[in-house]
Amino acid sequence: MSEAVTATLRYDSAERRRATYQDVLDAPPHRVAEVVDGVLHTNPRPAMRHAHASSSLGTKIGGPFHHDAGGPGGWWIIDEPELHLGEDILVPDLAGWRRERMPVFPDAPYATLPPDWVCEVLSPSTRKLDLHGKRAAYGREQVGHLWLVDPADRTLEAFELRESEWVLIATAQDDAPVRIRPFDAVTFSLGALWPPK
């Protein structure tokens, strides 16, 4: 092998160093830092419509499932938890764990137990990562349900993991009533996620 080729290979290996938790800790505090497939991704904090959709969905699901208010309870519903799943470090917009799987809420800076449900709110800066890298990681870790909320299109797509494949189980748009697994014990209007025009 020539010296030029050897030098290129060394340079490429150095450039492709796998990101670690230290890279997440060293990221600017005003950015959301995640590691997917060994690559560090930093994105700005969510914009207002994104934050509104996420917060509103957390309220609609958190009340009956996290706080037992008019629903069956039995879940921990958390905004933007940091998940350490294998070498990936992910920050979904929302995640939920059944309390039977996580009976004691962890006193730790991050969770290592994969959630039972995650929700990603799509935005232009995160859409590709959410739909490809993170979705694959959630499937690999056997997260049972994935919801994708798109504030621009005013839609929700719900997927269920079946035999390691994501299967679309429901869609909703605009002000449609939502009653979708794993939270099908209650119904809410998808319109609650969108700010008034």
Q: pLDDT under 70 in the chain at which residues?
A: 1-15
pLDDT at 15: 60
Instruction: Retrieve residue 109's tokens.
Output: 């800076």
For 3-134, where are the alpha helices, taking DSSP H only? 3-15, 21-26, 48-61, 127-128
pLDDT at 10: 42
The domain ranges of the chain are 44-193
Whether the full predicted model's pTM is greater than 0.85, yes or no, is: yes
Mean pLDDT taken over the chain: 92
> Does the domain spanning 44-193 belong to CATH 1.20.140.10?
no
Per-residue pLDDT, 145: 98
Q: What is the pLDDT of residue 13?
A: 46
User: Each residue of 105-160: pLDDT tens digit?
Assistant: 999 999 999 999 999 999 998 999 999 999 999 999 999 999 999 999 999 999 99
- Beta carbons of 24 and 35 less than 8 angstroms apart: yes
| Chain mean position to CA 59 | 16
